[in-house]
Structure 1
């Protein structure tokens, strides 16, 4: 069935993520994957397409895409562009193609929520609120083609526009969508230090902190929950990376090498591809910054000038998406090579784990290159990321809550006694509480405290050691209070780390 007037115009009405789409008046939706959508739009008039948009994630992006198509049933065809490493790594476009060609099945996602699972080697979800018969209707009604370049997108769209317009295959269909809210507790706005032994552990701690005290703010991409300046410290990530079992991270081991190459390897500039981090580090400024850092540290292993910049001052004027990763600093202290990275904006749910693994790979690469050139035994030090805007988008809140509920308590139960501030030995002697502050490792006594008031002693310790761990500080408070009870009631005997006992 066709509509004969060749100049008939349709209005595309996006119900989801409208500010991330370029809307037109035609009958073809163009899915650009990770290619910049404006790079396609410049070759077409708005009458030639219905909508142009990116598809970054198969678990988060396909449902809103399908919801928008159901609300705009005049869309008769899809053109799906897969042309970048990022497309292959993320798998969003491939998963969409598999939905159209192979269908879907009922299942549960990785947090136990009922969803439709796309029949694909790439994990992709569709909201269960959309009935199966409606999903089958869209598969039967819309034709599609995969292309591998911008020029082929343009050629195919122009060819489609030579054909007669088609009637809508349905009335507009809109289905309920449940949005998760956040319960926010009081907390500081700025500067949050979070430490974990692995990237996975640190990530769960980050999610908990943001979901607990982060501020909900509107942005051009929708709502997000945000904290300012999260300093994340990963102390002991293994060289071959730790993936939990079952894997709750938003990245799989089989895809990590592709992501790492985007940080370590150069790439040529191509139309529609903004940049890769590797390109910014290797050639963007006509210098290989990674090699510069290696050469610098080979000549002066203690240099504090090993800095790499990904920020281009021209990003202010001619880049609608400047790099989120801005600076990287390498430093060796006590034969430990650390890496510190600064992000201006960081999606802590979907992006931070892969960001951290890519940076860890860069850290390992630099360490090994230095060791290959000089007789310097180095060990891998901490990975530190400073995320100036650390946020979780609202379509991930439910997933974040489920992961925190499942994993955070277990992580917190793991006993970790090491505190870089040292340890404290508490005894009662000469009718006073007596405390020795001992350095970690060497066991050197660096300070002594004594008195009869637990409060006065722990206040003084807090003044002298402001970096003491929270759990350690709370432990000290309880131990000192036990000691004070024993001073006041002579029937009790005090021993550190043991319950109060009555003297025989």
Structure 2
């Protein structure tokens, strides 16, 4: 009896090697949002070359293709596309479309020349890879998409005994990754930051600008870097019920994606082997309690309760990993206004925060409507507040973030200045005799709530700022300019009354 000994290979991942599970076979396995260990534990290491996850088509496929080009003995690619997250992100579909339909020349959303995958899902491959090499890869690799772990295992095992040689020599190139501009990265506080905007899109622009301006560069556990702020509070005050999307839409998500994503927060989901939790699952059934129903009942019975709290953190997460980024949610009614505050231990502020914010806002809206329908209490929508312990932007998003900042940030700031309103109130500057007098009034009625008087403009400015520590920076600058005008008038024996 002849026993066939199959050759053993060693997959060499040039990009993101620490995120992969390695074997000695010749089948590559992409698990999408399914935990890669869920498949690895069902296989012998000789049955696969590599197993890895694919979350984002625009950020993951390019690296995946480069690694396949470096390992030309891999002739089978099995793509698992089995979860709601897979369907929403579209990574598996886009990857399969590459093998089915190829690419065309174009530019990415950052204006970078690239190969665009011929798919309804956005996906890019670096233009420095010759088209003839991509075509060789497409023709040489058998790619198959499946929707369950069991079917994936069957396909993998059927590929084991296929005898095919390498389709060509390894193709190895380096990537010119965008590095942060250290000259423009300014010093700033390490801990505790607060940003506010009317809409999610406006707040997001301020967030990425703030991180790119003063964020600290740190290595990640994923073979890369991120720019990070610690403990970032983001406040969204007036997001409309139907959600606002700018036109043209520069957010990393669109309305169709958000409509699907909302269900991952509002709806329960069954526990499936290998499939990561959803936030809705953690809120609805993970702890054998429907926490959303609990807070609705709590607030109906005690509208001003300070204990309408939901937790997504399980103490077992320390042991098994895969802990949720979203940890706690608080609902609070103050002055007939329902606010929602959420804490996130780790937050990708560029790619994930907008979707997080839309989903949380939908949850806030749902709870408000349920309280109104069940108890007849017509609440107003208050702010959405997120507290991100690690608020970061990954290095592969720097280019896109910088383009958004360049195109949108100053427009936003200019538009906000034309609609100026500071919650601390207004200031009226005038001169009386030899003194500069600054009267502080309420933002609504204009009632005088404070009077500051001094000849020395430095002392005057310090006193006002020490009494009003949350004064908006642009307001403080404008106030300083008016005080300086008043001082100039005194020097010239003139009176001054701010107009």
Fold match by TM threshold 0.5 = yes
Partner residue, 1:17: 16
Partner residue, 1:148: 147
Could you give the per-residue CA deviations for residues 199-222 of structure 1, whole angstroms, max 9, x where no partner exists?
Answer: 111111111111111111112112
Secondary structure of the structure 2 residue equivalent to 1:257: helix
Looking at structure 2, the residues matched to 125 and 245 of structure 1 have their Cα atoms a distance apart, in angstroms, of 23
Contact map agreement 1:233 1:385 (CA 8 A) in 2: yes
Correspondence 1:227-242 to 2 at 5 A: 227-242=229-244
Answer yes or no: is 1:429 the counterpart of 2:432.
Answer: yes
Correspondence 1:260-299 to 2 at 5 A: 260-299=262-301
Partner residue, 1:358: 359
Partner residue, 2:30: 31
Could you give the per-residue CA deviations for residues 340-360 of structure 1, whole angstroms, max 9, x where no partner exists?
Answer: 000000011110000000000
Looking at structure 2, the residues matched to 324 and 451 of structure 1 have their Cα atoms a distance apart, in angstroms, of 51
Looking at structure 1, the residues matched to 134 and 357 of structure 2 have their Cα atoms a distance apart, in angstroms, of 37
Structure 2 unpaired stretches of 5+ = none
Looking at structure 2, the residues matched to 46 and 375 of structure 1 have their Cα atoms a distance apart, in angstroms, of 61
Q: Quick check: 173-182 or 356-365, which moved more? A: 173-182
Answer yes or no: is 1:406 the counterpart of 2:395.
Answer: no
Shift of 1:301: 0.8
Partner residue, 1:200: 201
Q: Quick check: 106-115 or 9-18, which moved more? A: 106-115
Runs of 4 or more consecutive aligned structure 1 residues displaced over 4 Å after TM superposition? none
Shift of 1:253: 0.9
Looking at structure 1, the residues matched to 464 and 301 of structure 2 have their Cα atoms a distance apart, in angstroms, of 42
Partner residue, 1:502: none
Shift of 1:115: 1.6
Partner residue, 1:7: 6
Partner residue, 1:95: 94
TM-score by length of 2: 0.97
Contact map agreement 1:117 1:126 (CA 8 A) in 2: yes
Looking at structure 2, the residues matched to 200 and 115 of structure 1 have their Cα atoms a distance apart, in angstroms, of 27
Secondary structure of the structure 1 residue equivalent to 2:217: strand
Correspondence 1:314-333 to 2 at 5 A: 314-319=316-321, 321-333=322-334
Partner residue, 1:172: 170
Contact map agreement 1:129 1:177 (CA 8 A) in 2: no
Looking at structure 2, the residues matched to 263 and 380 of structure 1 have their Cα atoms a distance apart, in angstroms, of 19
Cα 1:220/1:433, change in 2 over 3 Å: same
Looking at structure 2, the residues matched to 377 and 264 of structure 1 have their Cα atoms a distance apart, in angstroms, of 21
Looking at structure 1, the residues matched to 336 and 56 of structure 2 have their Cα atoms a distance apart, in angstroms, of 40
Partner residue, 1:500: none
Secondary structure of the structure 1 residue equivalent to 2:59: coil
Partner residue, 2:255: 253
Looking at structure 1, the residues matched to 186 and 474 of structure 2 have their Cα atoms a distance apart, in angstroms, of 19
Contact map agreement 1:62 1:125 (CA 8 A) in 2: yes
Looking at structure 1, the residues matched to 261 and 376 of structure 2 have their Cα atoms a distance apart, in angstroms, of 31
Shift of 1:146: 1.1
Secondary structure of the structure 1 residue equivalent to 2:299: helix
Shift of 1:111: 2.2
Looking at structure 2, the residues matched to 56 and 318 of structure 1 have their Cα atoms a distance apart, in angstroms, of 20
Contact map agreement 2:200 2:239 (CA 8 A) in 1: yes
Contact map agreement 1:129 1:176 (CA 8 A) in 2: no
Partner residue, 2:226: 224
Partner residue, 1:392: 393
Looking at structure 1, the residues matched to 34 and 42 of structure 2 have their Cα atoms a distance apart, in angstroms, of 14
Q: 1:308 aligns with which of 303, 307, 310?
A: 310
Secondary structure of the structure 1 residue equivalent to 2:85: helix
Secondary structure of the structure 2 residue equivalent to 1:130: coil
Looking at structure 1, the residues matched to 119 and 150 of structure 2 have their Cα atoms a distance apart, in angstroms, of 28
Would you say how many aligned residue pairs link Structure 1 and Structure 2? 491
Secondary structure of the structure 2 residue equivalent to 1:463: helix
Could you give the per-residue CA deviations for residues 444-492 of structure 1, whole angstroms, max 9, x where no partner exists?
Answer: 21110112121111111111111111111111111111111111112x5
Shift of 1:6: 3.1
Contact map agreement 2:35 2:276 (CA 8 A) in 1: yes
Shift of 1:270: 0.3
Structure 1 unpaired stretches of 5+ = 498-504
Secondary structure of the structure 2 residue equivalent to 1:7: coil
Shift of 1:181: 1.5
Could you give the per-residue CA deviations for residues 250-279 of structure 1, whole angstroms, max 9, x where no partner exists?
Answer: 111111111000000000000111200000
Shift of 1:431: 2.7
Looking at structure 2, the residues matched to 349 and 6 of structure 1 have their Cα atoms a distance apart, in angstroms, of 49
Looking at structure 2, the residues matched to 174 and 485 of structure 1 have their Cα atoms a distance apart, in angstroms, of 68
Looking at structure 1, the residues matched to 56 and 120 of structure 2 have their Cα atoms a distance apart, in angstroms, of 14
Partner residue, 1:181: 179
Q: 2:444 aligns with which of 424, 441, 444?
A: 441
Could you give the per-residue CA deviations for residues 266-317 of structure 1, whole angstroms, max 9, x where no partner exists?
Answer: 0000011120000000000000000000000001110000000000001001
Shift of 1:5: 5.3
Looking at structure 2, the residues matched to 273 and 305 of structure 1 have their Cα atoms a distance apart, in angstroms, of 31
Secondary structure of the structure 1 residue equivalent to 2:487: helix
Contact map agreement 1:325 1:341 (CA 8 A) in 2: yes
Q: Quick check: 170-179 or 276-285, which moved more? A: 170-179
Secondary structure of the structure 2 residue equivalent to 1:208: helix
